[in-house]
Every structure is written in structure tokens, then in C-alpha cells.
Amino acid sequence: MTSTLFILQIVLAILITISVLLQKSSSIGLGAYSGSNESLFGAKGPMGFLAKVTFVLGTAFIINTLILSYMYTKESNRSVADTIVPTAPVAPISAPIAPSAPAAPANSVPQAN
């Protein structure tokens, strides 16, 4: 379920980006490339339609973000701080700093006859 909502989040982000870039602004933006399609969406042109689409997509994006944050919080039982800060006190090191050389076995030395 979480992965489906995450994929939906990515699709919504792409669709919002496209709908915002297609809207005309004071500097025209990418709306200049839409040509004379203004009559396709009605008498007001695409601005009313694209504004409504952007609003609906933005609302869906916010709702999906809230649902995803709730689901991720519900799944997580530990905090990030739990992985950084040790929970048990660390015992002092009593071993020597430099390791000692291993002792040779007693029966490995050949005896002279």
C-alpha cells in the first residue's frame, strides 16, 4: 500500500509540474507553445481549466503526502536517534592496547638426540 501511494506521489508531482508549466504567465512560459487551443477548453480559454486541474492535483498531492507521512510514522517503531545513541552504557576497556604475541605450542619444538 505504501509503495502504491509513493508511486502516486511521484505521478502527482509530475502532473502538477506539467499543469503549472502549461499555464500562461506574464512572461508567457510554456503556454506559448500551446498555440490556438484556447477554444478547446471553452470561452475563457485554458486558464480556467488549467487552474482547476492544478488546484485538484495540488489538493490530491497534499492529501497523499499526509497519508504517506501517517503510514510511515505508524510503521516506524524506533527513532533515528535510537540508532545513533547507544542504549546501554559502554564498559571501559580493560584489555591492553597492543595485542601480545601468541605463545608457541610446547610440543612443536624438535628435540635433538
Report the pLDDT value the prediction gives residue 36, as an integer from 0 to 100: 47
Quote the number of domains for the chain.
1
Report the pLDDT value the prediction gives residue 83, as an integer from 0 to 100: 72
Instruction: With respect to residue 11, please indicate whether it lies within any of the assigned structural domains.
Output: yes
Instruction: With respect to residue 95, please indicate whether it lies within any of the assigned structural domains.
Output: no
- The parts of the chain modelled with pLDDT lower than 50 are 36-39
Domain of 20?
Answer: 2-78
DSSP 40-100: GS-TT-HHHHHHHHHHHHHHHHHHHHHHHHHHHHHH--S-HHHHHS-SSPPPPP-S-SSPP
Instruction: With respect to residue 104, please indicate whether it lies within any of the assigned structural domains.
Output: no
Instruction: With respect to residue 35, please indicate whether it lies within any of the assigned structural domains.
Output: yes
Instruction: With respect to residue 7, please indicate whether it lies within any of the assigned structural domains.
Output: yes
Instruction: With respect to residue 107, please indicate whether it lies within any of the assigned structural domains.
Output: no
